[in-house]
Amino acid sequence: MTEKINFIASQRNHSPAPTIPAVIEAPTGFVADTLARPLQDLRISLTDRCNFRCVYCMPEESFGKDHVFLPRKSLLTFEEITRIAKIFVAHGVQKIRLTGGEPLLRKHVENLIQMLAQLKTPGGRDIELTLTTNGSLLAKKAQALKNAGLARVTVSLDSLDDDTFKRMNGVDFPVSDVLHGLDAAHAAGLGPIKVNMVVKGGMNDQEIVPMARHFKDTPFILRFIEFMDAGSSNDWKMDEVVPSAEVVRRIAAEMPLERIASTLKSETAERWRYQDGSGEIGVISSVTKSFCHECVRARLSTEGMLYTCLFASGGHDLRTLIRNGNTDEEIASVVAQIWRARADRYSELRSSFMNGAEQPQKKIEMSYIGG
């Protein structure tokens, strides 16, 4: 096993379980952090495993056959996930996204969806339950996901060109199978379906306009994501980031676009529509235009660590609290305490890190924390 592999595994160190506050308080449906950002959105990673080896996420050099994935017993069970999710919903979470790794690799994922779909906000509304997938298993699973109560899916697809896509996914997976998955998801009613393309300069940026052309005038909303410095193994370089402004410029040069307002303040994508009325695209400028000031998102790792930022170097061990027999009220008080202390704004500070300011220690991998 190489040093690098050991390093990735060791990032999952557990800090001691959080301390239960002296005063236990019942959730009120609202808790805000030090920058007045409410807790509204929860991403849950269902597995750290994936059948792809995307160059920007789980490159083969770091996630090869010797890589040690989490043992089964350390994964949260569906009951544990649902219990934690319920606590977050009581604090004001309205939207839950299942992710990973590849979430459709988790066995019987539809049973979990069925359990989460029962959750209601304190006001009695359904929560918005969605899932992000690489699409490889979607053709097989779309209908079962819908039947279980999943509202929508987001599908990742980085190119329509097989050679480019295979180079990016690292496992020779063909484009056509993802397109079949998209069609199956649409037929099952898992819409509106978003398609996420991570743009890595020099690798797939020539695919920006063909992807836009392909998805224009279809039910699918294409979104371009800037290549991020997530984790510590994707060899990120600023000069491989294609700024969203450049993505919009290239598309608009052929298919004129106009800006439209976002529906939600916390929406990460900037929306643009084709002037001829044939649909919209989104751009997510995680690097060039940070949106930390509106970030209302918490992340729960596969083994029950709570992270308050995608770029965090440490998490808070909720699994130990659950397995030690703490009550829902105690765990809810811990979550409130953690959220109230939150001050994360990595993306806003990135440029100062790039200019030599001290960075957080090693960042956690996206496949572990959930993208």
Binding site for ligand SF4 (CB under 6 A): 50, 52-54, 57-58, 100-102, 134, 156, 290-292, 295, 297, 309-311, 344-347, 367
- Map the footprint of ligand SAM across residues 311-370, applying CB under 6 A: 366-367
Choice between 31 and 197, CB closer to ligand SAM: 197
- 292 touches, from ligand SAM, ligand SF4, none (C-beta below 5 to 8 Å by class): ligand SF4
Q: Which of 11, 62, 82, 99 binds ligand SAM (CB under 6 A)?
A: 99
- Kindly identify the residues of this chain, within the stretch 155-194, that bind ligand SAM according to CB under 6 A: 156
Q: Residue 296 to residues 256, 277, 347: CA-CA distances in angstroms?
A: 32, 32, 14
Within a 10 A sphere around the Cβ of 119, how many other Cβ atoms?
17
Binding to ligand SAM (CB under 6 A) within 191-210 occurs at 196, 198
Among 47, 82, 134, 347, binds ligand SAM (CB under 6 A): 134
Output the smallest distance, CB 98 to ligand SAM, in A: 9
Say whether 97 sits in a helix, a strand or coil: strand
Q: For the chain, first and last CA: distance in Å?
A: 26
CB of 66 to ligand SAM, least distance (A): 21
Give me the least distance between CB of 92 and ligand SAM, in Å please: 24
Could you tell me if 332 and 65 are in contact, meaning their C-beta atoms sit under 8 angstroms apart? Answer: no
Residue 49 Cα to chain centre, angstroms: 14
Give percent helix, percent strand, percent coil of the chain, each to the nearest 5. Answer: 35, 15, 50
> What per-residue string of b and e applies to 254-282 under the rule 16 or more CB within 10 Å gives b?
ebebeeeeeeeeeebbbbbebeeeebbbb
Q: Which of the residues 137 through 156 are near ligand SAM (CB under 6 A)?
A: 156
CA–CA separation, 232 and 268 (whole Å):
23
Question: Binding residues for ligand SAM, per CB under 6 A?
Answer: 50, 56-57, 99-100, 102, 132-134, 156, 196, 198, 225, 227-228, 230, 234, 366-367, 371
